[in-house]
A and B are shown apart, each in its own frame.
Chain A
Amino acid sequence: MSILSKYQQVSDLHDRIRSAKLGRDPFSVCFDAIHDATQAEIAGETVILLGSNNYLGLTFDRSCIEMAAAALRGSGTGTTGSRVANGSYQGHTELEERLKAFYGARHAMVFTTGYQANLGIISTLAGRDDHLLLDADSHASIYDAAKLSAAQVIRFRHNDPEDLARRLRRLRGQPGDRLVVVEGIYSMFGDTAPLVEIAAVVRAAGAYLLVDEAHSLGVLGQHGRGLTEATGVKADFIVGTFSKSLGAVGGFCVSDIDDFETLRVACRPYMFTASLPPSVVASVTEALKQMETRPDLRSRLHANGSRLYQGLEKAGFALGPEAGPIVSVRLPAVETAIDLWNGVLDNGVYCNLALPPATPTGEPLLRASVSAAHTSEQVDQAIEAITEQGKLLGLVGSERVAAE
């Protein structure tokens, strides 16, 4: 017995995954070199990156790199402290101004990671006697925020506005504010929230709405503002990340609410951590500009997403409910998922392996995400690699396409 004994179950599962036929550990993949937004090297082999959430492919954008390098030389490697205790740099406030302008919002606040943005904003907004209502498929950062919050936490069925309405109704007569949290795009299946219907339920109950646009920023909406823009819904709070479409790291929250600035001295995950380094702030500021001025990136991203979804659907795989930049193959068993993931990687394509209970339906998933930077040839190569392995494992019929 040791202090780690309580993790025996997790540890057993990890051992099982590592001892699978081909023996790679999907949770400890190390790239020896990153060539660009779509290719890297693992043990001397070049692989296509199909699991990076690098939606707009901006990680190697020349102007982002130039801006980051200039900030690195001009302002140093790090801020070495929190903005509250040790001061903000001009870049932090400039980025907040840019976010306000981008969303047409009155307030913006930048966090060191997207995880911390959710953790901080949600746990600070929902206090004692308040009620936090979470979509059942919420990201871990939202669940962790719920743990940190003193509010009472209720889950509602995934993407089900009627279920949310029922759960809000049950709270009638109880004191406190209600905060409803949904995501623009859910990370496991890539499905979007029925935001218009959810917002109507939220308004009718006099609740507040927070939308996490982590996977939808730069992906949805005419200007890339996310699902709120695509649906015309006005959320009370939008949270997002810089680590996906903007190609760096960090998080933010924008809002029009009065007294928003109080959060800076009330929100612990904002106050008690070091702020983003100047180089990251500079590349994010530039990436935001690139995102706004290059709508072609978004059309290429969606074309790639549709191509991958249709290709795998045609091959006979069971997929998520809608085509988009995230395409997940639903698999019958953990062992099959491990074998598929390994086989696909051997064929030169890196995807993500998602296992229950981290998946919403309890099914293991081979999760892929495309980028605007992928070529059609790379997407086709990925479809081929996944299909070939799927046939070997008996997941899809080898004669299926030919027979049709």
Chain B
Amino acid sequence: MNKNSTTFDVLEEEIKKLAPGRAVSPATSVTRDLGLDSLAVMNFIMVLEDRFDISIPMDMIAEIETLKELEKVIETLKVEQDGA
């Protein structure tokens, strides 16, 4: 990961691979706007775990609606799990 890229940049980059041509913003809904089914969302989370080297427990995924919320969860987990 490029040191200067923000969490949102990485999210954008991964979504490009998954749903090419989709415009994304912080308000984009992970399930509705990206056209991902439940399995695709779970696989997307697995990719993000590897990109950020964190664990994102499944119960947290259920509460995430927008990319903004996803970004926030990732940043919180990064801080928590780096300290561990």
Residues of A within 8 A of B (CB): 136, 146, 152-157, 166-167, 170-174, 356-357, 362
Give the total of B residues in contact with A, Cβ under 8 Å: 19
Contact of A152 among B39, B42, B57, B84 (CB under 8 A): B57
Min Cβ gap A401→B in Å is: 35
Q: Which residues of B have CB within 8 Å of A156? A: 46
CB-nearest residue of chain B to A143:
B58
Q: List 19 A-B contacts (CB under 8 A).
A: A136-B42, A136-B43, A146-B58, A152-B55, A152-B58, A153-B58, A154-B49, A154-B56, A154-B58, A155-B42, A156-B46, A166-B50, A170-B54, A170-B55, A171-B55, A173-B84, A357-B39, A362-B39, A362-B40
Q: A172-B84, A174-B84 are in contact. Are A167 and B39 (CB under 8 A)?
A: no
Asked if A136 and B46 make an inter-chain contact with CB atoms under 8 angstroms apart, the answer reads yes
Q: How far is the CA of A156 from the CA of B42 in the complex (A)?
A: 10
The 6 closest A-B pairs by CB, nearest first: A152-B57, A173-B84, A357-B39, A153-B58, A357-B37, A170-B55
Please state if A154 and B39 are interface contacts (CB–CB under 8 Å).
no
User: Which residue of the partner chain B has the closest CB to A358?
Assistant: B39
Known A-B contacts A153-B59, A154-B55, A157-B46; the reply to A356 vs B39 at CB < 8 A is yes
Residue in B closest to A359 when the chains form the complex, CB atoms? B39
- State whether B81 touches A170 (Cβ < 8 A): yes
| A146 proximity list for chain B (CB < 8 A) | 58
Shortest distance from the beta carbon of B40 to any chain A beta carbon, whole Å: 7
In the assembled complex, B53 has its CB within 8 A of some CB on chain A: yes
Q: What are the residues of chain B within 8 A of A172 when measuring CB–CB?
A: 84
